Amino acid sequence: MNIARLKSSFARVAMHGDEVPLHFYSDLFLKHPETRDMFPVSMQAQRSHLVAALVTIVSNVEDLDALTTFARDLGRDHRKFGALAEHYDAVGASLLATFAHFCGQAWDSELEADWKAAYELIASVMIAAAREDEKHNPAYWTGTVVARERRAFDVSVLTVRPEPRLDYLPGQSAAIESPARPRLWRYYSMANAPRADSTVEFHVRLIDGGAVSMALTAHTPDGAELRMGPPVGALRLDLASSREILMVAGSTGLAPLKAMVEQLTSLPRPPAVQLFFGARAADGLYDLPSLEKLAADHPWLTVVPVVSAGRSAGQAGTLTDAVLSTANWSGHDAYLAGPTEMVQDTAARLAAAGMPPTQIHVEDFGWSEP
Amino acid sequence: MTTDAWYDEQHRLTPDQLDTVSFPLTRWARHGYEEEPVRAFLAQVQAEMVRLINERSSLWQEVQRLRRRILGTSNGNDAVLFGKDDAHIHAVRILSSAQRTADRYVADAQAYSGRLTEEARVRRDEIMVQAQQHADMLLTEARDRARAAAVAAMDNESLPPQTDQERRAVHAELAYLRTFSEVYRQHLKIYTEDVLRTIEDWESKERAAARDIPLPRDTGVRGPNTPGIR
């Protein structure tokens, strides 16, 4: 396999931008119409996913470990979409046809052999990982909605019972697909520590124009069956640390942090936790009563509500300002979740105030970010 | 040539534009341009390059097709306008174009739904602020009246009513104040209920509207055995 040639031909193909994935999917759907049903109506996001995956593969082509890890995760992740071993041949053929099309004159039998070998390597790792995963986990979990509660104008709490039981670590998320919007998956964090009755809560904020959040809040009656992917995400409690804890939750970013607080309640001697919970207006503090009850039951937990606009009982100003002006946190472990801008801003300012980056934990879906 | 069918011909970059382009100077320093216009321009240049590369590739394929056709003719074979491969590429292009249209419809629908919910959110905030202000106003007014009544009562206490006539007047005043406060309480209650009803109405309308929005129809780009959107 000539790696330099693979890379240079990929660069040539990539010059054609969105035309490349567009051509690939059209070729695939023409040759194998049955695969069309595995994708959503709009393919815009899907095309970026494909290009991102190809770029990751090609740029890691010399780092076999990284490549294998990536391909394994990708293979496992594709089980929930219904990808089967036979689909890999179809995808490979259309990928080669697409590269041939855009390489034009430069495409010859050697280049074709190189690409074929590269694809077969990736596909075999993906298929093997999927087969291995089959032994332990279903392709997807069926989550029956057992309760829905509208907590604020734009926030609902869904209680779901996954079948079979979903094992996860507090802080992790799962991709969810609503039957009202098939083939559209979005990540939501489990908002509770695992329970005896195996139910999980999801905090769903209605996003303006958001197809899935709208479906989950408005078109998902009790008894509806959601599909759920395997738990993902690297946010979790550092149980080896003995430091006190700062948690900063913006809006429904509260979900993973609340799950972690619940996890702490089961420890014999939990560290002191200060949980800042912020929203734009007071009614956005949709889970405050439940948090205040937790704080009343557990003296090590302090909850600080922060409202950035309008009148309220809590602190005023941005969440980041409120956190930074309260104390110097550099001796704490920080866990941040919520709107990307708030999380990045808070992380940067905590670091600037002397907190080592290893003590700052944020939500990270890695490659599987929707 | 079909590749450029979905391009917007009006916004193409011309060599003249590159010759005459100017950027606003940044406000903060003496040197340098505003970042946004430069970025926007670079995006335009990039889009133009992608178009040119794609056009060149299509042209090259067209040349190859014609070349094959000529060679085919000179070899004495039957020349065909579209070989098997050409027909497939043609089909790919048609399907790609249909997919782009479908993507645009979905994006438009999402943008529209986004605008609707955003407007609803703004309207709801306005209603809440108005209701709050009105309630504040009613309360302040009621408090002022109560204070005035208390002051009046204290004044009267220091000088107890002497005659029957004065006593009757005080009773009448008290009855008036009681009725007045009752009326105000009713007023406030009706008003609050009205606001709550408006919000409920509006919520149920919102729910009904959300139910009535048809799901995106099958766009024709799916497979033949596709059940469509549930």
ipTM for the whole complex: 0.75
Q: Which of B54, B61, B95 sits opposite A16 (nearest CB)?
A: B54
Whether A208 sits inside 8 A of B113 (CB atoms) is yes
- Under a CB-based contact definition with an 8 Å cutoff, are residues A142 and A162 in contact? yes
A287 and A311 both lie in a single domain: yes
Query: Does the beta carbon of A45 lie under 8 angstroms from any beta carbon of chain B?
Result: no
- The contacts of residue B189 (CB under 8 Å, 6+ apart) are none
- Residues B51-74: what's their mean pLDDT? 78
- Residues A4-15: what's their mean pLDDT? 90
Chain B residues with CB inside 8 Å of A153's CB? 121, 124
Chain A residues with CB inside 8 Å of B91's CB? 26, 30
A94 and A194 both lie in a single domain: no
Tell me, what CATH number does A223's domain have? Answer: 2.40.30.10
The C-alpha atoms of residue B141 and residue B150 are separated, in whole angstroms, by: 14
A273 and A217 both lie in a single domain: no
A270 and A220 both lie in a single domain: no
Most confidently predicted of A300-304, A309-313, B54-58, B80-84: A300-304
Note the pLDDT of residue A276: 96
A64 and A18 both lie in a single domain: yes
**B77 has pLDDT over 60:** no
A92 and A196 both lie in a single domain: no
- Residues A29-51: what's their mean pLDDT? 91
Q: Which residue in B has a C-alpha nearest to residue A219's C-alpha?
A: B211
**B2 has pLDDT over 80:** no
Note the pLDDT of residue A127: 95
A132 and A146 both lie in a single domain: no
Q: Given A169, A202, A228, which residue is the final one in a domain?
A: A228
Q: Does residue A250 lie within any of the structural domains?
A: yes
Query: Does the beta carbon of A356 lie under 8 angstroms from any beta carbon of chain B?
Result: no
- The contacts of residue A186 (CB under 8 Å, 6+ apart) are A175, A176, A212, A213, A370
* HEC sequence for chain B: CCHHHHCCHHHCCCHHHHHHCCCCECCCCCCCECHHHHHHHHHHHHHHHHHHHHHHHHHHHHHHHHHHHHHHHHCCCCCCCCCHHHHHHHHHHHHHHHHHHHHHHHHHHHHHHHHHHHHHHHHHHHHHHHHHHHHHHHHHHHHHHHHHHHHHHHHHHHCCCCCHHHHHHHHHHHHHHHHHHHHHHHHHHHHHHHHHHHHHHHHHHHHHHHHHCCCCCCCCCCCCCCCCCC
Note the pLDDT of residue B78: 46
Q: Does residue A238 lie within any of the structural domains?
A: no
Q: Does residue A193 lie within any of the structural domains?
A: yes
Q: Which residue in B has a C-alpha nearest to residue A17's C-alpha?
A: B50
pLDDT exceeding 90 applies to what percent of chain A? 62
Query: Does the beta carbon of A65 lie under 8 angstroms from any beta carbon of chain B?
Result: no
Task: Kindly state the helix (H) or strand (E) to which residue A118 belongs, with its residue range.
Answer: helix A109-136
The C-alpha atoms of residue A79 and residue A88 are separated, in whole angstroms, by: 12
A32 and A85 both lie in a single domain: yes
Q: Which of A68-77, B2-11, B96-105, B139-148 has the lowest mean pLDDT?
A: B2-11
Chain B residues with CB inside 8 Å of A37's CB? 222-223, 225-227
The C-alpha atoms of residue A370 and residue A233 are separated, in whole angstroms, by: 12
Q: Which of B103, B108, B230 has the most A C-beta neighbours within 10 Å, making it the best mutation to test the interface with A?
A: B103
**A3 has pLDDT over 90:** no
Q: Compute φ and ψ for A201, nearest 5 degrees.
A: -105, 145
Tell me, what CATH number does A339's domain have? Answer: 3.40.50.80
Whether B115 sits inside 8 A of A209 (CB atoms) is yes
Could you list the residue range(s) of the whole structural domain that residue A11 is in? 3-136
For chain A, helix (H) and strand (E) counts, in that order, are 11, 12
A66 and A86 both lie in a single domain: yes
Q: Which residue in B has a C-alpha nearest to residue A220's C-alpha?
A: B211
The C-alpha atoms of residue A178 and residue A183 are separated, in whole angstroms, by: 8
- Residues A304-311: what's their mean pLDDT? 79
Q: Does residue A239 lie within any of the structural domains?
A: no
β-sheet with A301-307: strand ranges across: A315-316, A301-307, A273-279, A245-250, A333-337, A360-362
Between chain A and chain B, how many beta carbons pairs sit less than 8 Å apart?
106
- Residues A209-227: what's their mean pLDDT? 86
**A314 has pLDDT over 80:** no
Chain A residues with CB inside 8 Å of B92's CB? 23, 26-27, 30
Q: Which of A34, A104, A209 sits opposite B225 (nearest CB)?
A: A34
A63 and A179 both lie in a single domain: no
pLDDT digits (tens, 9 = 90+) for A122-169: 999 999 999 999 999 999 999 999 999 999 888 999 999 999 999 999
Q: Which of A9, A30, A39, A41 has the most B C-beta neighbours within 10 Å, making it the best mutation to test the interface with B?
A: A41
Q: Which of A17, A30, A209 sits opposite B50 (nearest CB)?
A: A17
Query: Does the beta carbon of A214 lie under 8 angstroms from any beta carbon of chain B?
Result: yes
- Under a CB-based contact definition with an 8 Å cutoff, are residues B90 and B2 in contact? yes
Q: A27 versus A215: which is more confidently predicted?
A: A27
Q: How many CA atoms lie within 13 A of A202 on its CB side?
A: 27
A24 and A131 both lie in a single domain: yes
Chain B residues with CB inside 8 Å of A309's CB? none
Neighbours of B119 (CB within 10 A): 11
Give the total number of structural domains in chain A: 3
The reported pTM is 0.68
Token pair 């595995």: residue: A38
Q: Which of A363-367, B13-17, B75-79, B87-91 has the lowest mean pLDDT?
A: B75-79
Tell me how close the Cα of B7 comes to any Cα of chain A, in angstroms. Answer: 12
Q: Which residue in B has a C-alpha nearest to residue A153's C-alpha?
A: B121
Q: Does residue A75 lie within any of the structural domains?
A: yes
Whether A29 sits inside 8 A of B223 (CB atoms) is yes
Mean per-residue pLDDT of chain A: 90
Q: Which of B6, B96, B123, B213 has the most A C-beta neighbours within 10 Å, making it the best mutation to test the interface with A?
A: B96
Q: Does residue A107 lie within any of the structural domains?
A: yes
Whether A35 sits inside 8 A of B223 (CB atoms) is yes
The C-alpha atoms of residue A80 and residue A74 are separated, in whole angstroms, by: 11
Q: B192 versus A294: which is more confidently predicted?
A: A294
Q: Given A169, A201, A228, which residue is the final one in a domain?
A: A228
Q: Which of A104, A182, A208 sits opposite B57 (nearest CB)?
A: A104
Q: Does residue A234 lie within any of the structural domains?
A: no
- Under a CB-based contact definition with an 8 Å cutoff, are residues A160 and A144 in contact? yes
Q: Which residue in A has a C-alpha nearest to residue B225's C-alpha?
A: A34
A212 and A250 both lie in a single domain: no
Mean per-residue pLDDT of chain B: 75
pLDDT band, very low/low/confident/very high, at B84 (cuts 50, 70, 90): low
Q: Which residue in A has a C-alpha nearest to residue B203's C-alpha?
A: A153
Q: Which of A13, A15, A19 has the most B C-beta neighbours within 10 Å, making it the best mutation to test the interface with B?
A: A19
Q: Compute φ and ψ for A39, nearest 5 degrees.
A: -120, 160
Q: Given A180, A203, A228, which residue is the final one in a domain?
A: A228
pLDDT digits (tens, 9 = 90+) for A59-117: 888 888 888 988 998 898 899 998 888 899 999 999 999 999 998 888 999 999 999 99
Chain B residues with CB inside 8 Å of A102's CB? 57
Q: Which of A96-105, A267-276, B157-166 has the lowest mean pLDDT?
A: B157-166
Q: Does residue A323 lie within any of the structural domains?
A: yes
